[in-house]
A = this chain, B = another copy of it.
């Protein structure tokens, strides 16, 4: 009746138009050499969320604080860790584009890998990651969370590219522009604009105050389950 409790992080970001996850290579058995989600033990007097925040900065030497962190789910199959009974609370973190993590890292190596075409992962981390990606995909529909993948100021096109990368789908720039700017509280214009890029300069926006998108921004109709 005594368990070890860990937190594992599904850290997602968008790099080069692809949804990527931060993975670390395990230096010790079991699964030595395999990639795994970053994570670690929850301390005695520490709240679960605090442990997630700590791991977020500690295990991965990243400067960027996550713009979004939420609990994902808890995994505790008796056999999921061959050494002991370990229950892990998984968290989902969304980050703006971040540089490759390298030095100062606790784990041997850490790397951003695209969620498509992943190597086998340690433990049940493949399932956890799948759940995290699915959560992120679903949440983009009815929450303004896509902005969490963007820098503090961003263009509508950057926001659209987030949707395209996460959903792995093409969206019409004109319709997306109308939708993003007309949904109350989604984005707020700053008055600034970009310059130096190709094409006409774009307005810059910040995250708006809305916590839900109403009406939602739905994906194309899901696989007809008939």
Q: How often does this chain occur in the complex, in copies?
A: 2
Q: Say yes or no: B209 contacts A214, CB within 8 Å.
A: no
Q: Say yes or no: B76 contacts A42, CB within 8 Å.
A: yes
Task: Please tell me if A196 contacts chain B, counting CB pairs below 8 Å.
Answer: no
List chain B residues, Cβ under 8 A from A226. 184-185, 209
List chain B residues, Cβ under 8 A from A75. 48
Q: How far is the CA of A210 from the CA of B224 in the complex (A)?
A: 8
List chain B residues, Cβ under 8 A from A225. 184-185, 209-212
Which single member of B47, B73, B215 contacts A76 (CB below 8 Å)? B47
Binary contact track A185-226/B, C-beta < 8 Å → 1, others 0: 100000000000000000000000111101110100110111
Q: How far is the CA of A225 from the CA of B188 in the complex (A)?
A: 13
Given contacts A5-B3, A185-B226, contact A45 B89 (CB under 8 A): no
- A88 CB, nearest partner CB in chain B, Å: 10
Interface residues of A in 98-135 (CB under 8 A from B): none
Task: Please tell me if A46 contacts chain B, counting CB pairs below 8 Å.
Answer: yes
Task: Please tell me if A54 contacts chain B, counting CB pairs below 8 Å.
Answer: no
Q: How far is the CA of A126 from the CA of B218 in the complex (A)?
A: 33
Q: How far is the CA of A78 from the CA of B218 in the complex (A)?
A: 39
Task: Please tell me if A43 contacts chain B, counting CB pairs below 8 Å.
Answer: yes
Task: Please tell me if A85 contacts chain B, counting CB pairs below 8 Å.
Answer: yes
- A135 CB, nearest partner CB in chain B, Å: 12
Q: Say yes or no: B222 contacts A43, CB within 8 Å.
A: no
Q: Say yes or no: B218 contacts A47, CB within 8 Å.
A: no
Task: Please tell me if A4 contacts chain B, counting CB pairs below 8 Å.
Answer: yes
Task: Please tell me if A62 contacts chain B, counting CB pairs below 8 Å.
Answer: no
A85, A142, A215, A225 pick with most chain B CB within 10 angstroms: A225
- A117 CB, nearest partner CB in chain B, Å: 26
Interface residues of A in 1-60 (CB under 8 A from B): 1-5, 41-48
Task: Please tell me if A67 contacts chain B, counting CB pairs below 8 Å.
Answer: no
Q: Say yes or no: B184 contacts A224, CB within 8 Å.
A: yes
- A212 CB, nearest partner CB in chain B, Å: 6
Task: Please tell me if A181 contacts chain B, counting CB pairs below 8 Å.
Answer: no
